Amino acid sequence: MFSIQNNVNSLIAQHAFAQNNIQLMRSFTKLSTGLRINSGADDPAGLIASENLRATLSHLEAESRSLERADHVVATADAALGEISELANRADELAVASANTAGMSQEEIEANQMELDSIIDSVDRIASTTTFNGSKLLDGSFSMTAAHDTFTFDSAQPNDLGATESGGETYTLSDLKSGGALAIDGGDAATAAQVLRTATGQIATARGRLGTISANTITPALNSLNVAIENITAAESFIRDTDFAFETSNLARNQILGASTLNNLGVANSQPRMVLSLLG
């Protein structure tokens, strides 16, 4: 039955056209943003799960960045200790050469002492100026927390290296400088050699500890975090991201339905005119 007063077919077509436009806009939004969930209305449960995963991911990424920075701190300290180790080995050479005075002039011994003074000053400078983000690493004051463990870095200053007891006194690397009790140009050569051996051992031990921190604490924790970040990112992406193949097919479907509905709306609106033509 055709009706002029109420065009029911037109109302049906208009409603279908409006609903189709809503679906079309949703498809456009998902394809434009790359997200399947753009608001709570898209998937309430999925939104909750996605936001929880994002919060966890943010926490893990912050912890990962912190561990990477800790590894850089360890590498910086290790590189500085490597330089100090080279200097300590050279100091040991000078002490041994000066202890064996056969055929060596006093001028040569004094020259060795001058070089040794320079070496000790360099050790002090490296220990005092090796910093990371404003924190001194090798003056005995630095500690850091990584992977829920706290690590303290040993001092590499001459006053703290090579502590050796002899004759009721404790000597360190600084005592090998000119005028010191163990100066190689006239001091106790045997004790001086022991101080240098002790200092070399301390430096090697400190570098070993740093290597252990990096290899057995920071690196495993960082690897574990990266695996967790990868898995959580994949899970969050599966929940929230747009499936472009699926959504593109939805878009094409909605476009076809929109064209079809618009055509039907035209037909429904022409029906009353057909009835009026009968009256004419």
173 and 268: one domain? no
Do 143 and 92 share a domain, yes or no?
Answer: yes
Q: Is residue 185 part of a domain?
A: yes
Q: In whole angstroms, what separates CA 17 from the centre of its chain?
A: 52
CA distance 213 to 233: 28
Task: Average the pLDDT over 184-203 and give the result.
Answer: 88
Task: Please report, for the domain that includes residue 80, its CATH number.
Answer: 1.20.1330.10
- Whether residues 89 and 170 share a domain: the answer is yes
Claim to verify: residue 26 and residue 126 sit in the same structural domain: no
Tell me if 202 is assigned to some domain.
yes
**Window from 33-42, 74-83, 89-98 with minimum mean pLDDT:** 33-42
Judge whether 66 lies within some domain: no
Q: Is residue 51 part of a domain?
A: no
Residue 97 and residue 23 in one domain: no
Q: Indicate whether 65 pLDDT > 70.
A: yes
Is the Cβ–Cβ distance between 225 and 67 less than 8 Å? Answer: yes
pTM confidence score: 0.77
Residues 248, 180, single domain; the answer is no
**What's the mean pLDDT in 204-215?**
95
Distance of CA 247 to the CA centre of its chain: 36
pLDDT (mean) for 12-40: 75
Tokens of 206: 């400190």
* Residue 216: domain span: 73-231
Would you tell me how many other CB atoms lie within 10 Å of the CB of residue 33? 12
Residue of 90, 138, 143 lying closest to 115 (CA atoms):
90
Provide the domain count of the chain.
2
